[in-house]
Amino acid sequence: MTVHQLQQQEGVLMDTNLLLLYSVGRYDPNLIPRFTTRLSRYDVEDYQLLRQFIGLFRKVITTPHVLTETINLIDKKSGRYSPVLSRLASEVAIFDERYVSAADIIAKNGHYLSTFGLTDLVLCELAQQSVVILTDDGAVGSLITGKKGLVLNFGQLRDLLIQKKPPGRRR
C-alpha cells in the first residue's frame, strides 16, 4: 500500500501499546524505554517515527477500549494523576473516538474471544471500515489481514524506514 493509498483511508488507529508509546513520548520521549516493560523495546526514534506516520492521516481514530487499556497501563505505572495521564487526557478531544458495542463484536466474532481480547476484535471490526490499524501485535495483524482489513505492523514499518536492529541487538 502506498502513502497516497493510506491517506485515502478514513484515518489511523493505534493499538494500545502504540498509544501508550505516543502518550509517554508526548510527555517526555526520554521516559519511553523505562516507563514500563511494554515500552522497553521502543526508544525516541520509534516515537518520532510514530508521530511522523500518524501525521500522514487526516484523523487519528481511537476506541473506548483502547483508551481504557492505555489509561489503565499508565495508572498502574505512575498513579491516577500522573503528568503522562494528564497529557493523554488533554489530547483525547482531538481523536475521533469510535464505539463498537461488545454485544455486536461478540455476535460477529465471539468465537475468537478465547484467543483475542475484546479490544483486538474491535480493531478487527474497524479495520474493515477504511480505518488503518497500526499495531505491534503480529497475531492481531494476522487476524485483521485474514479478514481483509487494513493493518500495518509497526515493527515492520520501523525496520523498513529506520532500519533498526531487532531488540536485543541494539547499538
Q: How far apart are the first and last CA of the chain?
A: 31
**pLDDT number for residue 37:** 87
Q: pLDDT tens across 140-168, in order?
A: 999 999 999 999 999 888 877 765 555 55
Taking a C-beta distance cutoff of 8 angstroms, is the pair 165, 42 a contact? Answer: no
User: Which of the four pLDDT bands, split at 50, 70 and 90, describes residue 171?
Assistant: very low
Q: What does the alpha-carbon distance between residue 31 and residue 29 come to, in Å, rounded to a whole number?
A: 5
**pTM, to two decimals:** 0.89
**pLDDT number for residue 169:** 46
Answer whether residue 138 shows pLDDT above 70: yes
Q: Is the four-CA dihedral 102, 106, 112, 115 of positive or negative sign?
A: positive
Q: How far is CA 122 from CA 59, 72, 109, 157, in A?
A: 18, 18, 10, 22
Q: pLDDT tens across 55-102, in order?
A: 999 999 999 999 999 998 887 766 655 888 888 988 899 999 999 999
**pLDDT number for residue 162:** 63
Domains and CATH numbers, the chain: 3-162 (3.40.50.1010)
